[in-house]
Structure 1
Amino acid sequence: MSELLRVLVVDDDFRVAAMHAAALERVRGCQVVGKARTLAEARELLATRSVDLVLADEYLPDGSGADLVGASDASVLMVTAADSWERVRRALARGAVGYIVKPFAMSQLLERIADYSRFHEAAVRADRPATQAEIDDLTALLRSRPLTRMPKGRSTITAQAVAALLRTHQGPMTAIAVAEEVGVSRATAQRYLADLVDEQLVTLSLRYGTHGRPEHSYEWSR
C-alpha cells in the first residue's frame, strides 16, 4: 500500500470534478488518480487503478454513488447535494467514512481530506499490531471536524462557475472580467472571489490598470 493517498473523484458535473481534483492536489500526500462521471466509469477505474479513497456524488446518471461503498478496498467519502436522511443512513450504514452535503466551504473539505490522509499514512506505516488507543485516535480523526456550510446567500452553481473560470483561464483576471464572464454583478463576483482567496485556491495581487489606477487581480493557485 502506497503512503500517498490515491483519490478517485466521481461526479457527473465535470466542472465540479475538476475543481475538487485541483483542490485535492494541494493536500500534502494526496494524489488524484482519476475522475469519473458515471458509476460504470468509476467501477472500471477501481478495477484498473490503485485507489485508496473515493469522493463520490450520490446522484450519477446510471446509479447511486453510495453503491461504490464496499465495491472495492477503497474507502468512500460522500460529497453530494443529497440530504435526505434515508440516503445519509444508507451510505453510512454501508460503511462510508463520511457524508458531506453541498454546499460547503472548500477549505473544510480539504481539512477533512487532510485528516483522512493522516489516518491513511499512519495505517500504512504501522509495522506492528495496533493498540486500542491508537485505533481510537485514528478513528477520531474522521469525526473531529464539523463542516462549515457555504455562507448564507451564496450559490453553489455561481461558486463553481467562478472557480472553473479562474482554473481554466491563463493569467490573472479582475473582478469586472470575472463578473462579465459569469454573468453576475461586480460586487457578487468579488464576494465569491474573496471566498476562494480565503480558501487559498486563488491568489490576490495588486496591479495598475491602463489609467494608472491600482486594481485587484485574481489568479488560480496552480
Structure 2
Amino acid sequence: MTDPIRVLVVDDDFRVAGLHRDVVAARPGFSALDPVHSLGAARQAVRGQRPDLLLVDAFLPDGDGIEFVAGADVDAFVLSAATDAATVRRALRAGAFAYLAKPFEARVLADRLDRYARMRNLLQSDRPLEQDQLDRAMSILHGGAEPASVSRSATEQLILEGLGDEEASAAEIADRVGISRATAQRHLAALATRGQVEVRLRYGSTGRPEHRYGVARP
C-alpha cells in the first residue's frame, strides 16, 4: 500500500490554516499534519515530521514564505493574497509547483492536490524518463491537455520507419528502435487508432495470440 502524501500548512491565520488542513484531510491519499503559523515552527516541522508537500503563505510574521520554500528542499505550493506579477514570478523561481491566489474555493485546492498526486506518481519511476512522460506530468500538474509533443511525433516516426514493409510485434519494434516495450505498445496503439498502423493476430499452438503490427496501406 502506498504511503499517504504528508502535507504541512504554513499560515499565520489560524482559521485559514485550519480550512486548508481540512481540504487536505478530505483528499484520498493525503495526510494532513497539524498546521504551523510561523517560519520557525515550519522549520522545526520539516526537520521533525518530514512532510512531502508544503502549503506556504508568501508573507509570515517572522519572515518570507517564498524564501523558505526556496531553501526547504520540499515540494511546495505558495498560497497568498498577493497577486502582483513580481511576487508570483518570485514564487515560481523559488520552485513552487503552484501559486493559489487567496481567497479561493476549497475545490481549487482539492484539484491542485489531486493533480500533484498524479504527477508525483508519474515521476516516481527509478528508470530514466522519456520526454513524453515529462510532458504528461507537467501537463497534469498545470491542468492542460496532454500535448502531442515533438518527442512523441519523432518516436512515432521512428516506429513507422522501423516497421518498414514488414509486420512486427511490439517487442521487436522496441528492439529495433531502442525504446521500451511499453513505450512501443503505447505509440503503436495511438498509430492504430489514427489508422496509420494495422493490427493483426498471429495464433500459435498454445497461449494467447500475438499482436502483429504493420504500416497501413492506402
Interval of TM-score (by shorter of Structure 1 and Structure 2)? 0.5 to 0.7
1:46 aligned residue? 46
1:17 aligned residue? 17
Give the deviation of 1:22 after TM superposition. Answer: 1.0
CA distance in 1 between counterparts of 2:108 and 2:73 reads: 25
Q: Structure 1: where are the runs of 5+ without partners? A: 146-222
Give the deviation of 1:119 after TM superposition. Answer: 1.4
TM, length-normalised to structure 2: 0.62
Aligned length: 143
2:98 aligned residue? 98
Conservation of the 8 A alpha-carbon contact between 1:3 and 1:121 = no
Bigger Rg, which one: 2
1:26 aligned residue? 26
Conservation of the 8 A alpha-carbon contact between 2:8 and 2:34 = yes
Conservation of the 8 A alpha-carbon contact between 2:21 and 2:33 = no
Conservation of the 8 A alpha-carbon contact between 1:27 and 1:110 = yes
Residue-by-residue CA offset, 1:68-109 (whole Å, 9 max, x unaligned): 223233111011111122111111112111111011121111
For the residue of structure 1 that corresponds to 2:23, the secondary structure is helix
Give the deviation of 1:121 after TM superposition. Answer: 2.5
CA distance in 1 between counterparts of 2:96 and 2:127 reads: 26
2:141 aligned residue? 142
**Matching residue's letter, 1:133:** D
Q: Which moved more, 1:67-76 or 1:20-29?
A: 67-76
Give the deviation of 1:131 after TM superposition. Answer: 1.2
Cα RMSD between the aligned structures?
1.5
Give the deviation of 1:3 after TM superposition. Answer: 4.1
Pairs within 5 Å for 1:204-219: none
Residue-by-residue CA offset, 1:27-65 (whole Å, 9 max, x unaligned): 111111231100111111111122111001112101111
1:132 aligned residue? 131
CA distance in 2 between counterparts of 1:111 and 1:63 reads: 29
> Structure 1 pair 104/29, CA: closer, same or farther in 2 (3 Å)?
same
TM, length-normalised to structure 1: 0.61
**Matching residue's letter, 1:78:** V
Give the deviation of 1:141 after TM superposition. Answer: 1.5
Q: Structure 2: where are the runs of 5+ without partners? A: 145-218
Conservation of the 8 A alpha-carbon contact between 1:68 and 1:76 = no
For the residue of structure 1 that corresponds to 2:90, the secondary structure is helix
For the residue of structure 2 that corresponds to 1:55, the secondary structure is strand
Q: Which moved more, 1:42-51 or 1:63-72?
A: 63-72
Percent identical pairs in the alignment equals 36
For the residue of structure 1 that corresponds to 2:33, the secondary structure is strand
Residue-by-residue CA offset, 1:130-189 (whole Å, 9 max, x unaligned): 1111111111122116xxxxxxxxxxxxxxxxxxxxxxxxxxxxxxxxxxxxxxxxxxxx
Conservation of the 8 A alpha-carbon contact between 2:78 and 2:99 = yes
1:109 aligned residue? 109
